[in-house]
Structure 1
């Protein structure tokens, strides 16, 4: 289902429109500011193989070496990044694999997991019921990711590990910076390998159109800006008695009776944005 409220309802009015197209092409390409042509499956399979291997190997290589985290029992890799690698390098066009979901999903889930585990650790009874701590952590993290519009399924394991893994528990708050570094590393590799054959990310913040600020502030333009700012963040339009889904570069029409999930709405919006780029209109995604 589509949630009526997410954090985007509040923040999107303050988020600037994408300006990656102003960067030099060789920089913008590796930030997803290009339209990838169709490729044969063999190239995509090879990219997936190389990206997954390099992303996980980089994380393992860094934490296997002597770092500031060595004395804090940091693992060679947090297990949840195996699942993140599948999303980032195989399903890189899905909303769940975008940088916002990867970074915020892992961090928020880790924060929830370590906080709830710390609360259970305050009493002997709580320490005997870490199974409940783990279940509660994943449940709270799932709701929080929905509110923050950064759902990333592998992050559920990041919320669970502080309660169930003794090594992670012994890291205490050092678990959070390890998560931050791991997320940034796997996103960096995805930006490099994912933009050779395909295009990654589809968006940085949201696929929904964002208002572009105008350089002047005449009364007419000011009224137009206010109308744009008050418009819904999604370009989805529900039409009664429509039997098909119609995607154009400026709108998406769906049947009124169709109940879309939030990820499905984001996916339709991302397709619209691709059509918009084909029409050579200024990019409105972040």
Structure 2
């Protein structure tokens, strides 16, 4: 689902453009700055197996060792990272599995979960109703992730655990740095294993344009012809209907995007999106084009809508 407002509407113009392609190849590759070629399924299965095993084992190894978390009742692993491993290593091309979604999604959800649990803990009646605390935490975290454009489904468990698990409640505020460490570790493993034969991440912040928009000079209007015959109303109607029939017979409309044969550019307006017929649209590009159209549509005054 494409929301009409996310935090990206405010911050994207302040985000610098991606410059990973300027890094040395060996560094840029493990940050996702490379192109991929199709691989056999058994190689991808092997990568998924190794990535999932190493990612979970690394987190467990850190929390099993004698660290600052040991004295604060840290579990062997926060359960929600089992689901994150499936996304990061199996569905690594999905928007929900990108580093921004993993890191910010888990942290925001954990923060909301521990804050609401602390509020319920202030009274005996609240402590008797942690079921409501857990439900409220997941609901608030879900909305917050949508607004911040960092939806990560496993983070729902991160919001729920402070209310549902007594050992997590014993961690208190140490639950938050535990999430930061876990997210960084699983992303680090995904950057290594996910860039051997595939590519991870697809993007670091957003697939949408970032930075300040460049203001291009307006082209000078072309001189009007000296004399041109003015078509009659009947000719205008005939030419419009013929043009509409010609376009409708050659265009292919899919998911709100119209593919036009012979078109050499992409045109986005508040009412339609036109792309070349031979342009292969993936899921991320389709979602971004529809988001741009919706944003432009929201700028059109209601009284300017066609009659």
Contact 2:14/2:210 (CA < 8 Å) preserved in 1? no
Where has structure 1 moved over 6 Å in runs of 4 or more?
247-250
TM-score under structure 2 length normalisation: 0.74
Please give the secondary structure, in 1, of the residue aligned with 2:198. coil
- Indicate whether 1:145 and 2:145 are aligned: yes
Question: Cα deviation per residue 1:179-227 (whole Å; 9 max; x = unaligned)?
Answer: 00000000000000000010000000000122478xxxxxxxx7439xx
Q: Is the 8 A contact 2:130 2:164 kept in 1?
A: yes
3-state SS of the aligned residue for 1:17? coil
Q: Secondary structure at the match of 2:216?
A: helix
1:82 and 2:82 correspond: yes
Decide whether the 8 Å contact of 2:14 with 2:212 is kept in 1: no
Q: TM-score, normalised by structure 1?
A: 0.79
Which structure is richer in relative contact order (CA contacts within 8 A, separation 6 or more)?
1
Could you say which residue in structure 2 is the equivalent of 1:243? 253
Cα deviation, residue 2, structure 1 = 1.8
Per-residue deviation, 1:39: 0.5
The aligned residue for residue 7 of structure 1 is 7
> Highest CA radius of gyration, 1 or 2?
2
Cα RMSD between the aligned structures?
Answer: 3.0
- CA offset digits 1:14-65 (Å, max 9, x no partner): 0000000000000000000001111010110000000000000000011011
User: For residue 267 of structure 1, what is the aligned residue in structure 2?
Assistant: 284
Which blocks of at least 5 consecutive residues in structure 1 are unaligned?
A: 214-221, 226-238, 259-263, 273-286
Which aligned pairs between 1:1-286 and structure 2 lie closer than 5 A? 1-211=1-211, 223-224=215-216, 242-244=252-254, 245=257, 246=259, 251=266, 267-268=284-285
Q: CA deviation at 1:253?
A: 7.5
CA contact 2:88–2:190 (8 Å) conserved in 1: yes
Once residues 156 and 264 of structure 2 are traced to their aligned partners in structure 1, the CA distance between those partners, rounded to angstroms, is 35
Q: Give 1:270 deviation, angstroms.
A: 8.4
Count residues with an aligned counterpart. Answer: 246
For the structure 1 residues 6 and 270, does the alpha-carbon distance in structure 2 shift closer, same or farther, using more than 3 Å as the test?
Answer: closer
CA distance in 1, matches of 2:185, 2:2: 31
Name structure 2 gaps, 5 residues minimum: 218-246, 274-280, 290-307
CA shift at 1:250, angstroms? 6.9
